[in-house]
Amino acid sequence: MEATHSPAAEAALTLTSPDQMQELGRRIAKLLRPGDLVMLTGELGAGKTTLTRGLGEGLGVRGAVTSPTFVIARVHPSLVGGPALVHVDAYRLGGGLDEMEDLDLDVSLPESVVVVEWGDGKVEDLSDDRLHVVIHRVVGNTDDEQRQVTLRGVGARWATAELAGLMA
C-alpha cells in the first residue's frame, strides 16, 4: 500500500487486493461517528461494497454487509453501542432528490453512519459534511486487483481529518 500525502482533508492510496480495501474500510470506521455521510464512487466491481464491508466490521454492526442493489437501503444495527450503518445503493434511483428523500436518510443520518454507493449528484444535499471515496481500477497494469482510492473530506467535520495516515 502506498499513500500519497496531500492536504489533511484529502489522500490518495494505491491498494493491491480486496483485503487491503476491506482493511481501509476498517480504518476509516475508526474516524466515523453518528451523523457521518460517506459517498462511494466507482465503476461496477471497483470495491465499493468490499470497502463498506470493512466499515461494518470496524463499526461492529450486525449482519453481513452485501450490496443493497435490489433493496436500495439496508440498515445494520450496532452490536457494540455505536452508530448503525445505513448502506444505500442509489444506482437504480433516477437521480432526483425526491427518490432519495423517500428513503428518509435525513432522519437516519443524525444517529447513524450513512454510506451511499452511486450517490454523486443525489445525496450531497443531505449534509454539508461528507467523506467522498472515489475508487478507480488501475488500467494498463497486469494486476487486476490494483485500485487507486481518493479520499476527500468535505466540510468542517473533515477539515482536520488525517486521511493520509489511514494506511500508513
Q: What is the CATH number of the domain that holds 11?
A: 3.40.50.300
The Cα–Cα gap between 66 and 75 comes to: 11
Burial (Cβ within 10 Å: 0-12, 13-18, ≥19) of residue 72: middle
Across the range 77-104, mean pLDDT stands at 75
Please give the grid coordinates belonging to residue 83.
Answer: 452508530
Residue 4 has what pLDDT?
46
Comparison of pLDDT for 67 and 81, the residue scoring more: 81
* pLDDT for 124 beyond 70: yes
Across the range 27-53, mean pLDDT stands at 94
What is the band of 5 on the pLDDT scale with cuts at 50, 70, 90?
A: very low
The H or E element spanning position 26 is helix 18-29
Q: What is the dihedral of CA 121, 48, 168, 34, to 10 degrees?
A: 60
The Cα–Cα gap between 8 and 53 comes to: 25
* pLDDT for 107 beyond 60: no
CB count within 10 Å of CB 123 equals 23
Q: How many structural domains compose the chain? A: 1
What end-to-end distance do the CA atoms of the chain give, in Å? 8
Across the range 108-130, mean pLDDT stands at 84
Residue 94 is classified by DSSP as -
Comparison of pLDDT for 168 and 72, the residue scoring more: 72
Residue 2 has what pLDDT?
47
Distance of CA 97 to the CA centre of its chain: 19
Residue 73 has what pLDDT?
82
Across the range 26-33, mean pLDDT stands at 95
